[in-house]
Amino acid sequence: MAEPYVIEFDNVGLRYGQGTEVLKDVSFALPAGSFHFLTGESGAGKTSLLSLLYLARSPTRGSVKLFGKAVQSIARDDLPEVRRKIGVVFQDFRLLDHLSAIDNAALPLRVAGYPEAEIQKRVTELLMWVGLGAHLNARPPTLSGGQKQSVAIARAVINRPQLLLADEPTGNMDDKSAARLMRLFVELNKRGTTVVIATHNEGLIRTFPYPRIHLVNGRLSIYPVGYSPDQAYLKTEADYV
Amino acid sequence: MFKRPSDIPFARDTSAWFLPWMVMLMVFFAGLTTAGTLSLNSMLSRWSRSISGSLTVQVIPIEEDGRINKRKTQQEMEDVLDILRKTAGIASAKALTDSQMKNLLKPWLGESFLLEDLPMPHLIDVQLLPDAEVDLEMLRTLLAQKTPNASLDVHKLWLGKLIKLVRTLDFLASALLSMVIVTTSVIVIYVTCSSLAVHKPVIELLHQTGAHDGYISKQYAQRTALLASVGAIVGFLGVLPIIYLLSSVASEVQGGLLSEARFDAASWGLLCLVPVLAVVLSTLTAYWTVQKTLRRML
């Protein structure tokens, strides 16, 4: 039976070192198969929230549950298995410059120990689909910003993750490419992947009718479809799509 | 088919460049020390085998009016042989012939000398029964009482001093080897930690994509094995001519200890293990260092 919630935050706080909290009393839960936008001003805590979701950090206080398990209680040796269920598109791509596009996109499959023939087949197909068929062996420094982003996205989705997190995934793309990419995310979501996309792109949010999680100074609000942060605050189970 | 590059861009690690040099020096010094230790022990074992079951009795020629009295000297030799043959634990006692004496002196005096011109003591070679417990103190006292010109030379005492010397050298060699091993391990740890710091973002990315620590450690181990192998091969090749040179010089030294210092097949086998062990040590140290360091990361 599928977990009712993929992500559960309960009164979560996060601070770096002795600084002030960048996330304060954050509580929310996202059901499996949901699609949310994560919005907020720069510095509101979007990237910090995402870093808790892809297990790069532990919360300073409160409880984070992923796939029904409290993150703090997951043994270190079991973390890779949890991380393999999560695909991440970083704002700065984080591609490895010394590897080709195909090797970059293949990383999640390689670390999971897939056979090389299957890796080549799956990665080639995906890179061709995202329009990089002519650049399979190109290294990131020779690719444009949009092409790099496509490689980063391919890497995030190649392992068919249960949870997809994207930090400004359309930031370097024209509208046509952004729409094409969003259709990929929607398609993955239809197949059961829970999607959280951090973005500033209001046009995108208007075009694709999904609820938004909004952060203001580290505090979180959830808005249903069609509502924006300047409208009434709502947070009920029925608001989840 | 070309080998896929490592996920970690090791080519940027400038600190790793001197690892092959360090391993080369380690193998060179460890190889020389091992070769020296093996040679000394082989020499000791040959000497021990050949003389531990024997004694020598020397009889000083008896002089009267400034001239050697051959008859009395011969009588004393007979008395000594009689005492020796009656002593429990002695298998045989034979006086060395003139030709045996000449052979013994040849390395020092050359071919052209007359034994009669030299005031040389007469020597009796005594072979002991295997595992015999000969009362050497009683034998020494008896010889002193009945044949005052005879004296007992127990090789065991001399061999004991030699064993002590070789054991001391063994200890020093072990200390030197330990120092070389510790130094190299520390350098491998330092190089690995530096590399982990340089590549922290890449390692975080690998972790994020679901890599186990073992996946990352294996890449470091492979890289270290490659660098260490280069150093180990060069270091080992550097040791070989030196061992050959020293063996040649030692074998030319006649009648001395060094000529007994041989390097047999087993010793060569042990020596070949030095570079292999250096590579294994470096590789395991790198693997262990990465594992320990990654344990501190989320």
Cross-chain Cβ contact A96/B298 below 8 Å? no
CA end-to-end span of chain B, whole Å? 36
Alpha-carbon separation of residue B178 from A204, B30, B33, B81 (angstroms): 66, 9, 11, 52
The residue of chain A with its CA nearest to that of B210 is A80
Cβ–Cβ contact B2 with A under 8 A: no
| B236/B24 Cα distance (integer angstroms) | 8
Sheet of B90-95, strands arranged across: B90-95, B122-128, B54-59, B150-154
Cross-chain Cβ contact A99/B5 below 8 Å? yes
Confidence of residue A177 (pLDDT cuts 50, 70, 90): confident
Residue B261 has pLDDT above 90, yes or no: no
Q: What is the 3-state secondary structure (H, E, C) of chain B?
A: CCCCCCCCCHHHCHHHHHHHHHHHHHHHHHHHHHHHHHHHHHHHHHHHHHHCCEEEEEECCCEECCEECHHHHHHHHHHHHHHHHHCCCEEEEEECCHHHHHHHHHHHHCCCCCHHHCCCCEEEEEEECCCCCCCHHHHHHHHHHHCCCEEEEEHHHHHHHHHHHHHHHHHHHHHHHHHHHHHHHHHHHHHHHHHHHHCHHHHHHHHHCCCCHHHHHHHHHHHHHHHHHHHHHHHHHHHHHHHHHHHHHHHHCCCCCHHHCCCCHHHHHHHHHHHHHHHHHHHHHHHHHHHHHHHCCC
Cross-chain Cβ contact A54/B207 below 8 Å? no
- Chain A stretch 131-150, residues whose beta carbon is closer than 8 A to a beta carbon of chain B: none
Q: Of A57, A83, A159, which has the smallest distance from its Cβ to B207's Cβ?
A: A83
pLDDT value at position A232?
A: 40
Cross-chain Cβ contact A55/B208 below 8 Å? yes
Q: In sequence order, what are the residues at sequence separation of 6 or more whose Cβ sits closer than 8 angstroms to the Cβ of residue B183?
A: B22, B26
**Contact residues, chain A, for B209 at CB < 8 Å:** 83-84, 107-108, 111, 155
Q: Of A64-73, B7-16, B17-26, give the lowest mean pLDDT range.
A: B7-16
Q: Read off the DSSP letter of residue A192.
A: T
Q: Of A186-200, B131-145, B227-241, B273-287, give the lowest mean pLDDT range.
A: B131-145
For the segment(s) A1-85+161-241, the CATH number from 3.40.50.300, 3.40.50.1220, 3.40.190.290, 2.60.40.3680 is 3.40.50.300
- Neighbour count for residue B251 (Cβ, 10 Å): 13
- Chain B stretch 187-226, residues whose beta carbon is closer than 8 A to a beta carbon of chain A: 201-202, 204-212, 215
| A45/A24 Cα distance (integer angstroms) | 10
Cβ–Cβ contact B71 with A under 8 A: no
Average pLDDT, chain A: 87
Q: Of A98, A103, A107, which has the smallest distance from its Cβ to B209's Cβ?
A: A107
ipTM value = 0.86
Higher per-residue pLDDT: B157 or B35:
B35
**Contact residues, chain B, for A111 at CB < 8 Å:** 206, 209-212, 215
DSSP assignment of A31-98 equals: ETT-EEEEEE-TTSSHHHHHHHHTTSS--SEEEEEETTEEGGGS-GGGHHHHHTTEEEE-TT----TT
Q: Of A58, A96, A159, which has the smallest distance from its Cβ to B9's Cβ?
A: A96
- Neighbour count for residue B49 (Cβ, 10 Å): 9
**Contact residues, chain A, for B4 at CB < 8 Å:** 103
- Interstrand relation of A5-15 and A21-31 (parallel, antiparallel or unpaired): antiparallel
Residue B256 has pLDDT above 60, yes or no: no
Residue B161 has pLDDT above 60, yes or no: yes
Question: Are the beta carbons of B199 and B8 closer than 8 angstroms?
Answer: yes
Q: Of A91-95, B135-139, B193-197, B262-266, give the lowest mean pLDDT range.
A: B262-266
**Residue ranges per structural domain of chain A:** 1-85+161-241, 92-159
**Contact residues, chain A, for B207 at CB < 8 Å:** 79-80, 83
**Contact residues, chain B, for A159 at CB < 8 Å:** 210
Which of B209, B212, B298 to probe the A interface (max A CBs under 10 A)?
Answer: B209
Residue B22 has pLDDT above 50, yes or no: yes
Buried b (16+ CB within 10 A) or exposed e, B155-165: beeebeebeee
Confidence of residue B13 (pLDDT cuts 50, 70, 90): confident
| A79/B298 Cα distance (integer angstroms) | 9
Residue range B151-179: mean pLDDT, rounded:
84
Cβ–Cβ contact B7 with A under 8 A: yes
- Chain A stretch 186-215, residues whose beta carbon is closer than 8 A to a beta carbon of chain B: none
Q: What would the pLDDT profile of A98-157 be if each residue is shown by its tens digit? A: 999 999 999 999 999 999 999 999 999 999 988 899 999 999 999 988 889 889 999 999
**Residue ranges per structural domain of chain B:** 10-49+159-295, 61-148
Share of chain B above pLDDT 70, in %: 91
**Chain A with chain B: Cβ pairs closer than 8 A:** 54
Q: How far is CA B216 from the centre of its chain?
A: 41
Cross-chain Cβ contact B298/A57 below 8 Å? yes
pLDDT value at position A126?
A: 93
Just give the CATH number of B61-148.
3.30.70
**Contact residues, chain A, for B212 at CB < 8 Å:** 77, 80, 111
Cβ–Cβ contact A92 with B under 8 A: no
Distance from CA of A87 to the nearest CA of B (A): 8
- Residue recorded with tokens 């936008």: A37
Residue A239 has pLDDT above 60, yes or no: no
Token pair belonging to B161: 């001093």
**Contact residues, chain B, for A98 at CB < 8 Å:** 5, 9, 11
Cβ–Cβ contact A57 with B under 8 A: yes
Which of A74, A100, A111, A153 to probe the B interface (max B CBs under 10 A)?
Answer: A111
Residue A196 has pLDDT above 90, yes or no: yes
Instruction: Let me know if A69 is exposed, middle or buried by CB neighbors in 10 A (0-12, 13-18, 19+).
Output: middle
Amino acid at A154: A
**Contact residues, chain B, for A79 at CB < 8 Å:** 207, 298
Most confident of A21-25, B88-92, B131-135: A21-25
CA end-to-end span of chain A, whole Å? 19
- Chain B stretch 23-62, residues whose beta carbon is closer than 8 A to a beta carbon of chain A: none
Residue range B39-64: mean pLDDT, rounded:
80
For B248, what's the count of Cα atoms within 13 Å in the CB-facing half-sphere? 6
Residue A164 has pLDDT above 50, yes or no: yes
